Structure formats: structure tokens, C-alpha cells
């Protein structure tokens, strides 16, 4: 069975898995507004190009800069930040995302997806999921949150220089829940603004504040906003859930391993308000009893739950493909199930659920049902989990 793995190219030492859809994926960064009240996103999209492998020199660099590494180190390796940063920078500078930077946009019209990242993540780290979706005919806006839950992000000052904001650890005088609950409210507004930006891009009414050769007018009239889709992972998963409850322009949702802690005192109100079709795709090692109980308060008439067996939390992002076996053990990304198989199942579950609820819409995403049938032994339907990652929920444990 074909997977999404691929070979390296001359410019880069490594790359995330190749997308398997029929469209060659393009990518560009877009900033609308220079302050944190604006929007920063990486847009993945179907391009006019026909051969991904003939454009490897123009693939998208995965690495975003040393500022992002410093923020990540404060979360993952606070006791050895300098050593972690040195090793991470060395390992990641040569990594590519197999999406052609600034490729010309397709002439066709396709649906839109907003993707919200997890705690200490950024707009690049879910490239495997986002490029796969885009390769099947979606414009995917990977938002970079500026609530300081990302490992880093930036705004622009009056002279156009970048001003960075790094990951915020919990202050000693603040409880974990208080901080994360404040952040999720910002995240929801940023996700809603991202959809606003997509609408404006489709109308040809916005200016990119970032220096770029990519002409935003290419997007004019090519975004199908009939069925916007809201997705995300971990903190982004619960951001997706909360956004669906607030903004009914989003018609379908997919929450990957949603970390329910940031809304634990509000889930009784938020859960029933998610009336759109929602699929929660969980990893087995992450889900605790408390988290599953909170997920159980989601609208049962519109929500489907599925767990991929033998998986860990990091199986739904790029991490397992960026580091070797020792690195996966160090960052908690080592899983009993092969990372490529885990990612294949995850992405194909997403694609088929979306297809089920929005129809064809010009996409080509109904081809993976036989693959999922073969993988039935690796899936559990309904709420399920072994709870290793969320012990200490009541104390605000944040291994997400």
C-alpha cells in the first residue's frame, strides 16, 4: 500500500512526507495587519504546477528561525535550552516541506480550511497534515497564534522590522487554567479572523504586510466559502471545537487529540453549541479519563469519535518525521504504530469525513475508504484512551 513517504532532494537534507493528492501544493506566508490583532498564516493551496519533484529546489523551508527554537526550548527543554537549541537548529535548517514556495495558484475554485496549532507549536509544524489536505483540493490556512501559546511569533513595527513574542510559561502567581483559558479566547478570535481574511482574499481586498513576490490577486475568486472547515490539534483541537460553537460560518470540524483542559469549566455550555458535524480523532496514549469525560459532553448527535491505536500525541504533527529514533524518544514522539501509517490513517480519516459532509465540491478525496477498511484493526470507534499523557489534569498538567 502506497504511503506518503518520499526521497530527499539536493537543496535539503530531509523533508516531511510527500502529499498524495492529485494537486501539486504551493505555499506562502500572509500577514494582514502588522499588530497582534491582525492575522499571520501559512497558506497551503492547490497550484497550477503538474510535477512536484521537478521543483524540489523551490520547496518550502520548514525551519522558521532561531527565535522559534528559543521559545520551543523553554517548553520542551527548560533545563538545557542552549544545548537543545544548538541541536534543533542544526537538525532543522535543512528540512523542507514538499510544497512549492510561491507557486502559481490553480485556476479552479476550492473549499477552505482553517487549522489551529497546538501549544508551543507554529504555522509550519503541521505541514504533513496541511499539504495532504491541500493536495486534494483545499486552501488551508495554518494560523500562527499570537496569544503566546506558540513557541514564537512576530509582529511588524512601524519600520517593518519583526518584533518577536516568545512562548509564555505560566507565571508563579497564576494558575495554569487561568492562563490557558485566557489564551483560548484569543485563539478563537484569531481563528474567526482567519476566515474573515480568507473572505477578503477571495474578494481581492487585502494587502500582505510581508515582503513577498506572491501576488494575492491570484486568490481572487478562487476560494469556495460555501463550506468552511475548522480544524486543529491539541490546544488547536479544543480551539477548533470552541470556534465551531461561536461561529456558524464554519460548517464542518475536525479536532485532532483535543486538549479539553482550557475549557474544563465551560465545556457544559460550549459542547452542546457545536451543532456542526465534528470528528474527534484521538491518539491512544494522550487521552485521559478526565479529558474523555469532557469530550463526552460534546453534542452526541453531531460528533464522531475515533482513536488510532498504538499512537502518541506527536503522531498528528511533523515531529516523528523530523528526528531519528533517539530524538523521537526524547521528545515523546516514539509510538508502537509506525509514524507513517499513523499519519496516513489520520489524514485519510480527515479527508473522508470532510467529503462525507461537504460533498465533492471539485475535490478528489473519496479514494481512501479501502485503505481505512484495511486499517480497521488499528482504530477504535467511540471514546477511548490509555491516559498516559494527561495525568494530573486537575493540577493543569500540560504535556501537549
Helix (H, G, I), strand (E, B) or coil at 47: strand
Q: Nine-digit cell at 220?
A: 481572487
| Measured distance CA(28)–CA(286) in Å, rounded | 32
Q: Are 234 and 258 in contact (CB under 8 A)?
A: yes
Radius of gyration of the chain from its Cα atoms, rounded to whole angstroms: 19
Q: Nine-digit cell at 257?
A: 487529540
- What's the gap between Cα 352 and its chain centre? 18
Residues labelled as active-site residues: 234, 257, 313
| Measured distance CA(160)–CA(31) in Å, rounded | 12
Axis crossing angle, helix 127-135 with helix 339-358, rounded to the nearest 10: 40
Q: Nine-digit cell at 195?
A: 476566515
Output the CA angle 93-97-101, nearest 5 degrees: 100
Helix (H, G, I), strand (E, B) or coil at 88: helix
Amino acid at each position: 500500500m502506497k504511503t506518503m513517504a518520499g526521497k530527499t532532494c539536493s537543496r535539503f537534507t530531509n523533508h516531511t512526507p510527500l502529499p498524495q493528492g492529485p494537486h501539486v501544493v504551493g505555499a506562502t506566508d500572509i500577514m494582514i495587519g502588522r499588530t497582534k490583532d491582525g492575522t499571520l498564516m501559512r497558506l497551503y493551496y492547490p497550484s497550477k504546477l503538474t510535477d512536484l519533484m521537478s521543483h524540489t529546489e523551490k520547496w518550502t523551508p520548514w525551519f522558521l528561525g532561531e527565535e522559534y527554537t528559543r521559545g520551543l526550548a523553554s517548553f520542551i527543554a527548560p533545563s538545557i535550552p542552549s544545548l537543545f537549541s544548538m541541536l534543533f537548529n542544526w537538525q532543522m535548517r535543512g528540512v523542507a516541506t514538499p510544497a512549492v514556495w510561491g507557486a502559481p495558484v490553480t485556476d479552479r475554485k476550492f473549499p477552505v480550511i482553517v487549522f489551529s496549532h497546538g501549544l508551543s507549536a507554529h504555522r509550519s509544524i503541521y505541514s504533513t497534515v496541511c499539504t495532504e489536505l491541500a493536495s486534494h483540493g483545499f486552501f488551508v490556512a495554518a494560523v500562527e497564534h499570537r496569544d503566546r501559546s506558540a513557541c514564537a511569533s512576530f509582529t511588524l513595527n512601524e519600520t517593518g522590522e519583526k518584533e518577536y513574542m516568545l512562548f509564555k510559561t505560566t507565571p508563579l502567581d497564576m494558575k495554569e487554567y487561568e492562563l490557558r483559558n485566557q489564551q483560548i479566547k484569543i485563539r478563537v478570535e484569531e481563528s474567526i479572523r482567519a476566515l474573515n481574511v480568507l473572505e477578503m482574499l477571495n474578494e481581492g481586498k487585502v494587502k500582505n504586510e510581508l515582503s513577498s513576490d506572491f501576488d494575492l490577486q491570484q486568490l481572487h475568486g478562487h476560494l469556495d466559502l460555501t463550506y468552511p472547515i475548522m480544524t486543529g490539534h491539541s490546544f488547536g483541537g479544543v480551539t477548533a471545537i470552541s470556534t465551531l460553537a461561536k461561529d456558524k460560518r464554519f460548517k464542518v470540524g475536525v479536532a485532532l487529540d483535543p486538549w479539553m483542559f482550557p475549557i474544563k469549566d465551560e465545556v457544559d455550555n460550549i459542547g452542546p453549541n457545536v451543532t456542526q458535524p465534528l470528528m474527534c480523532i484521538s491518539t491512544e496514549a494522550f487521552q485521559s479519563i478526565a479529558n474523555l469525560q469532557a469530550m463526552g459532553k460534546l453534542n452526541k448527535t453531531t460528533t464522531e469519535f475515533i482513536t488510532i491505536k498504538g499512537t502518541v500525541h506527536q503522531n498528528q504533527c511533523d515531529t516523528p518525521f523530523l528526528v531519528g529514533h533517539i530524538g523521537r524518544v526524547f521528545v515523546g514522539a516514539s509510538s508502537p504504530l509506525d509514524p507513517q501509517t499513523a499519519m496516513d490513517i489520520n489524514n485519510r480519516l480527515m479527508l473522508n469525513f470532510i467529503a462525507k459532509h461537504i460533498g465533492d465540491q471539485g475535490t478528489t478525496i473519496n479514494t481512501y475508504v479501502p485503505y481505512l477498511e484495511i486499517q480497521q484493526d488499528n482504530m477504535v470507534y467511540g471514546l477511548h484512551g490509555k491516559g498516559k499523557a494527561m495525568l494530573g489534569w486537575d493540577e493543569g498538567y500540560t504535556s501537549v
